Amino acid sequence: MRFFVLIAAIALATACSGSTGNSTPNVATGTPKPASTPLPVSSYEVVKVYPHDDKAFTQGLFFHDGFLYESTGQYGKSSLRKVEITTGKVLQKWDLPREDFGEGSTLLGDKIYMVTWQQGLGRVFNLSDFKLIREFQYQGEGWGLTNDGTSLIMSQGTHVLKFIDPNTFVSNKTLPIMREDGRPLMQINELEYVKGEIWANIWHSEDPKVLGKPNYIARIDPATGKIVGWIDLANISPEDQRRDSENTLNGIAYDAANDRIFVTGKNWKRLYEIKLKPAQ
């Protein structure tokens, strides 16, 4: 489990903002000023509920061609899997070595990219057969992963997102994310690129030291790092989260062709297709 204090996390983000072979990365500078008006907060409507493997400690989730792809964590239990949405059945699976703690994953082209927590080790797989193509390394921890069609975008549990070249695995930009009050948005976790925005789960957002609001997702402008809104998923799966404090919301997948949003959490029994309600 990931336990560290705010000061240590900020120090880590600073240390990780650079990358080997790129001593002067393109860093988005400047601290956004506190918003003069509150940011919009969208609520949700559950469209459908699907079964989800409650042994899957969800770390990454994405949709492709009618199926969900999920990466899971925990030592000795981490995997990459292809899942049938309607049944939750695992159709294809690649188990990580027992010493690896799996984290976020994303699809770019015909390749799946997946990172690990503290190993500093990422992997690239063929989409079609999960064949391992290569491994790569990065500095700092690996948490969430998505892409904008060109770069991989990785979170590391801090307030900084790292943009990474998918061929060289060199960081070409770091993007600090600040809250409306000017403080860093810490514990950014699983990511999804949705309609030109980065949507980010905030790990333990219910913690007063983080946000004090349960099951919150940040909507982030990838060009500026500015938060453009929030999604409030409070009470979406109370039974799942009651079982264990670590059963947090963590999994966003977007079906662009049909404009569908799927969310789930670590060891949740259910996957939810949701529709956002207009911000109040």
Which domains does the chain show, CATH number per domain? 42-277 (2.120.10.30)
Highest mean pLDDT among 15-24, 219-228, 240-249: 219-228
Q: Tens of pLDDT along 70-107?
A: 999 999 999 999 999 999 999 999 999 999 999 999 99
Name the CA dihedral angle for 168, 172, 176, 177, rounded to a multiple of 10 degrees.
-70
Question: Backbone phi, then psi, for 89, in 5-degree steps?
Answer: -70, 135
| Unique residue bearing structure tokens 């042994």 | 55
Q: Could you tell me the pLDDT band of residue 280, with boundaries at 50, 70 and 90?
A: low
Residue 14 pLDDT > 50: no
**Percent residues over pLDDT 90 in the chain:** 72
b/e map 38-48, b = 16+ CB within 10 Å: eeeebebeeee
Residue 177 pLDDT > 70: yes
The pTM (predicted TM-score) of the whole model is 0.84
Residue 216 pLDDT > 50: yes
Q: Could you tell me the pLDDT band of residue 256, with boundaries at 50, 70 and 90?
A: very high
Please list, in sequence order, all residues whose beta carbon lies within 8 angstroms of the beta carbon of residue 265, skipping any fewer than 6 positions away: 58, 237, 240, 241, 247, 248, 249, 250, 251
- The answer to whether the beta carbons of residues 79 and 57 sit under 8 Å apart is no
Q: What is the pLDDT of residue 247?
A: 81
| Unique residue bearing structure tokens 């069609």 | 149
Q: Could you tell me the pLDDT band of residue 7, with boundaries at 50, 70 and 90?
A: very low
Average pLDDT, the chain: 86
Q: What is the pLDDT of residue 241?
A: 64
Residue 117 pLDDT > 70: yes
